[in-house]
Amino acid sequence: MAAKKKVSKKKSAAKKKTKKKAVRKKKTGKLAPRKEQRGLKAEQVVLPLDDNAVAPLIDEIQAVGGAAIGAYREPLSGRPVVMAVLPFKAVQPTPFQRDLSPTHVKRLAEKIEESGSFLDPLIVVRGDDGSLWTPNGRHRLAAAKMLGLRQITALVSPDEELAFRILALNTEKAHNLKDRSLEVIRMAHSLAESKPRAKEVDYSAEFEAPELLTLGMIYSQNKRFAGGAYSPMLKKLDRFSERTLRVSLREREAQAARLQEIDVQVKKIIEKLKARGFKSPYLRNYVVARINPVRFHRAKKGDTTPPMSVSAALTRMASAAKKFNLDSVKPGELALVAAMSGGEGS
């Protein structure tokens, strides 16, 4: 009986151990919910209009013909913010936002007209020249102009750096690669002018990903560039530079020029493949993958060191493009690229 009890206890312990393993959550890298509460209490958020923290900002608002409606401390950071109405003409979009979409502006204006309300205030900060900038309201501003609005509502912040951080919060409407790249490169050029000693790596959070800077260089000249085909290679190799923005941007400009030269060769290969009867929309993805020197590289866990420099990779790609063997292309390989691309042809 004692032996049976021991076996039973062992089985019970094994079951409990298995159960614990089953309920153990995998590490996903996602931000876990905090147990403790953060931020200000309600009474700490309220800020009188005559408070020294917002008085200079309210003077600026009044100077452009606007009016302060109220003030408060942002609940998370405690930074002061002024709720105001501003003359439409007093606000300009930051120069590094994505390009204006006339279709989106027209649709937005129609919906505002239908609802009879301009309910979504713009975020507004001081610009480099002392004017008022909105880093996230270009389309709403254009819609207000279309509707002939005299005044718009805005949340005005004295935190000028918010103009560069706001894009990281723009997650509601996913930007495509071109939009994101153009926003980032315009922001980088603006910062390089206003802060010549700033290092590229210091703005890694604002820029989101280093390859966007290089691709942004190209998109600034060629909006039809197929950046999606080259992005996987750049992601594996590109890193933020420790050099100043002015220097790093010159280096990226050179890389962008080389990448465009490679794309010219890729286009020639694609035309030759089409002449042989290959009509897949994934031809560019296939050709670029074939000449990508780090196509099969898999980084070890925790290793962030690139296998080679971007410059070295571009040299290899250019050489591989010149030696590309058309006879080696098989229809089955194209089908595999199509499946791996997830329907994103170029």
pLDDT value, residue 168:
56
Alpha-carbon distance of 333 to 336, in angstroms, equals 5
pLDDT at 188 over 50: yes
Distance CA 47, CA 52 (A): 10
24 pLDDT band, cuts 50/70/90, is very low
Which segment, 7-16, 69-78, 276-285, is predicted with the most confidence on average?
A: 69-78
**Mind listing the domains of the chain with CATH numbers?**
43-167 (3.90.1530.10), 175-341 (no CATH)
Confidence of residue 303 (pLDDT cuts 50, 70, 90): confident
The pTM score is: 0.57
Q: Which of 197, 228, 202, 203 minimizes the C-alpha distance to 215? A: 228
**Is there a contact between 314 and 255 (Cβ–Cβ < 8 Å)?**
yes
Q: What is the pLDDT of residue 313?
A: 96
CA distance 123 to 177: 24
What are the two backbone dihedrals, phi and then psi, of residue 195, each rounded to the nearest 5 degrees?
Answer: -135, 75
136/90: higher pLDDT: 90
* Mean pLDDT rounded to a whole number for the chain: 83
Q: What is the DSSP letter of 146?
A: H
